Chains A and B, each alone.
Chain A
């Protein structure tokens, strides 16, 4: 192995991530262009109620947002503005989009973080336990529940939780209270139902992965060696098997962000009225506030890009068996 190989690898990955980001931005621009209604129309839908002369408003809007320029010019403006952090003006909330994001991202962040902690810790534990007790009743019950957890639609689960625990039993509020301080027990309590809603599907998935990954590792020679050495089972499982079984699961957890977590968080925020980015994007859609919708879609893609990048790099560092050339 060459010296500095890891450094080169990281640089190459960074350049690659930059190109992907460029592609992502380009695709949103193309989608926006080929859509049936131009951005000016969407602006107009909001303003026309207040004006007598729509044609002049269109002209003014087009001039204001550079929509009268050639498409190539618009494309470059779009790129430059995004890079400079000038993400447009949200007219439904009368704020710059970046300010809107700054106020609301924390709500999504806390929901996603807590759900992932809940899902991964519990899922991995149950999975490993179920693999160690393979073909016992515990294993069957765990497998059965993981099947149910994977199949239950998370938005429906959210509604059912509200129905049972908020409407019937009255233990929780049906709506998230935004006045609560971020680091308080009351806030944690308000997040219990949303975290279960978002986390159950993920947890079930991790249970299955952890189970099969542990089973794979239990058959390996190093486990036999460890047992032959006379190590207690606690050490064999807790150290030798666990460390090897956990690596592929970490990739899956990171990869889940793109497919499962963002979609789930979007729906969970809408159901429980949590004012995170999903809720903001949802409100913006019905207000035709397109700069907000684009920005949040792009933020989602960028977060996925960054986590994938980090996972790749951390992984090569953690696991010396991975070649990076």
Chain B
């Protein structure tokens, strides 16, 4: 009963309600940006947008079609690695949201406590002795005050990793969202219009695909400068080509299928066919490709920060790695820890993506 009531209020006007809330959000954002002068950063608005998107087009449909949800969950669950991946991603999200309130300031420099090893390890350090004027080598053990140790400026590793989690997830989600959005539009438009428009869009896709992804990214960052927002935008604006091709080929094969033919012969408008039949039917492959492209995006940002082309004002995993490479012989943990986080995150998204792909593809046997 409860489902019926919610879907009555919500159902038919879902898109309208979503667009309305989006407009309100955009209005508040512009007001904040132009008039009140930045009460919240742009990221807060993105989170609100993302939450709305998830509720309207993720949680709500899953809740209404509970039978289908259970079916997908059963199929995904059989993939044990996918469940492990999903749990780790949920853990990361929790760390990204709550972590910064529980850890120290990741930018706080504390030179007397530099190069402290993680708890349970100890490291040799040369310390300058004021009385004798000599360097004396001492064995420094890790302390619980800095459970994962500190870097060469005495910054807390745990706090830096938590901050890096936040940055990586932000970059991964946002850039992928932008790329998927562009790819979806390009693919559907190209398949649906056909003719010269299809030709022009696909030739443009070919040109973009000819650029080596990372070289193009480096080139763009070189020209426009390294701010986190710009890097996200650059990854999003260059990473859509695969999605566009996939969506186009799927939409082309859908266009000649019976149910769309039937809908057309019943007099459905182009708009209805695109939004009601085409997009919902390509969405499952889009979700799979989105999940599988998040790790690539996270790695691209980390690689940029690692070679020193990332945003120098945010503490990302790549930036910590960059610092760690310089002190490999004195403090190995600075390079090891962010790399492990990066590795596990990428692994988790790959596991999850594989599981979702198998769950959405009825032909595959798990």
Interface residues of A (CB under 8 A from B): 19-20, 23-24, 27-28, 31-32, 35-36, 147-148, 150-153, 155-156, 159-160, 162-163, 167, 174, 257-259, 261-263, 266-267, 270-271, 281-282, 285-286, 290, 293-294, 296-297, 300-301, 304-305, 308
* Residues of B contacting A257 in the complex (Cβ-Cβ under 8 angstroms): 212
The contact sample of 28 A-B pairs, CB cut-off 8 A, is A19-B203, A24-B211, A27-B208, A31-B220, A147-B351, A148-B347, A150-B350, A153-B299, A153-B342, A155-B302, A156-B339, A156-B343, A159-B321, A159-B324, A159-B325, A159-B328, A159-B339, A160-B336, A160-B339, A262-B215, A263-B214, A266-B214, A266-B215, A267-B307, A285-B218, A285-B222, A301-B210, A301-B212
Residue of B nearest to A263 (CB): B214
The reply to whether A281 and B347 contact each other, CB–CB distance below 8 Å, is no
* Residues of A contacting B346 in the complex (Cβ-Cβ under 8 angstroms): 151-153
* Residues of B contacting A148 in the complex (Cβ-Cβ under 8 angstroms): 347
The reply to whether B206 and A20 contact each other, CB–CB distance below 8 Å, is yes
The reply to whether B325 and A271 contact each other, CB–CB distance below 8 Å, is yes
Given A156-B339, A159-B321, output 9 extra A-B contacts at Cβ < 8 Å: A20-B207, A147-B81, A152-B346, A156-B343, A258-B210, A259-B212, A270-B307, A293-B222, A297-B218
The reply to whether A23 and B223 contact each other, CB–CB distance below 8 Å, is no
A228 to B206, CA, bound (A): 45
* Residues of B contacting A28 in the complex (Cβ-Cβ under 8 angstroms): 219
- Known pairs A24-B207, A31-B219, A148-B347; A153 contacts B302 (CB<8 A): yes
The reply to whether A163 and B328 contact each other, CB–CB distance below 8 Å, is yes
The reply to whether A36 and B225 contact each other, CB–CB distance below 8 Å, is yes
For residues 194 through 221 of chain B, which have their beta carbon under 8 Å from a beta carbon of chain A? 203-204, 206-216, 218-220
The reply to whether B212 and A304 contact each other, CB–CB distance below 8 Å, is yes
The reply to whether B307 and A282 contact each other, CB–CB distance below 8 Å, is yes
Minimum CB–CB distance from B219 to chain A (whole Å) comes to 5
A23 to B351, CA, bound (A): 37
* Residues of B contacting A285 in the complex (Cβ-Cβ under 8 angstroms): 218, 222, 309
* Residues of B contacting A259 in the complex (Cβ-Cβ under 8 angstroms): 212-213
Residue from A150, A153, A163, A304 whose CB has the most chain B CB atoms within 10 Å: A153
Minimum CB–CB distance from B203 to chain A (whole Å) comes to 7
The reply to whether B347 and A263 contact each other, CB–CB distance below 8 Å, is no
Residue from A151, A257, A271, A305 whose CB has the most chain B CB atoms within 10 Å: A151
Residue of B nearest to A262 (CB): B212
- Known pairs A28-B219, A266-B218, A300-B215; A36 contacts B350 (CB<8 A): no
Interface residues of B (CB under 8 A from A): 81, 203-204, 206-216, 218-220, 222-225, 295, 299-300, 302-303, 306-309, 321, 324-325, 328-329, 332, 335-336, 339, 342-343, 346-347, 350-351
Minimum CB–CB distance from A177 to chain B (whole Å) comes to 18
* Residues of A contacting B332 in the complex (Cβ-Cβ under 8 angstroms): 163, 167
A80 to B295, CA, bound (A): 40
* Residues of B contacting A281 in the complex (Cβ-Cβ under 8 angstroms): 215, 218
A153 to B225, CA, bound (A): 24
* Residues of B contacting A27 in the complex (Cβ-Cβ under 8 angstroms): 207-208, 211
The reply to whether A258 and B321 contact each other, CB–CB distance below 8 Å, is no
A207 to B220, CA, bound (A): 33
* Residues of A contacting B328 in the complex (Cβ-Cβ under 8 angstroms): 159, 162-163, 167, 174
A271 to B322, CA, bound (A): 10
- Known pairs A263-B214, A300-B215; A32 contacts B343 (CB<8 A): no
Choose among A35, A160, A296 the residue that contacts B223 (Cβ–Cβ < 8 A). Answer: A35
Minimum CB–CB distance from B351 to chain A (whole Å) comes to 7
* Residues of A contacting B324 in the complex (Cβ-Cβ under 8 angstroms): 159
Minimum CB–CB distance from B356 to chain A (whole Å) comes to 15
The reply to whether B307 and A258 contact each other, CB–CB distance below 8 Å, is no
Minimum CB–CB distance from A148 to chain B (whole Å) comes to 7
A281 to B307, CA, bound (A): 12
The reply to whether A258 and B211 contact each other, CB–CB distance below 8 Å, is yes
Choose among B209, B213, B336, B351 the residue that contacts A263 (Cβ–Cβ < 8 A). Answer: B213
A290 to B302, CA, bound (A): 23
A36 to B332, CA, bound (A): 39
The reply to whether A163 and B307 contact each other, CB–CB distance below 8 Å, is no
The reply to whether A151 and B214 contact each other, CB–CB distance below 8 Å, is no
The reply to whether A267 and B303 contact each other, CB–CB distance below 8 Å, is yes
The reply to whether B223 and A258 contact each other, CB–CB distance below 8 Å, is no
The reply to whether B350 and A147 contact each other, CB–CB distance below 8 Å, is yes
A151 to B324, CA, bound (A): 20
- Known pairs A152-B343, A153-B303, A156-B321; A297 contacts B329 (CB<8 A): no
- Known pairs A27-B207, A147-B351, A258-B211; A159 contacts B335 (CB<8 A): yes
* Residues of B contacting A152 in the complex (Cβ-Cβ under 8 angstroms): 343, 346
Minimum CB–CB distance from B110 to chain A (whole Å) comes to 25
Minimum CB–CB distance from B293 to chain A (whole Å) comes to 11
The reply to whether A305 and B210 contact each other, CB–CB distance below 8 Å, is yes
Residue from B209, B295, B346, B347 whose CB has the most chain A CB atoms within 10 Å: B209
- Known pairs A23-B204, A263-B303; A31 contacts B223 (CB<8 A): yes
* Residues of A contacting B208 in the complex (Cβ-Cβ under 8 angstroms): 27
Residue from B81, B211, B213, B329 whose CB has the most chain A CB atoms within 10 Å: B211
Residue of B nearest to A258 (CB): B212
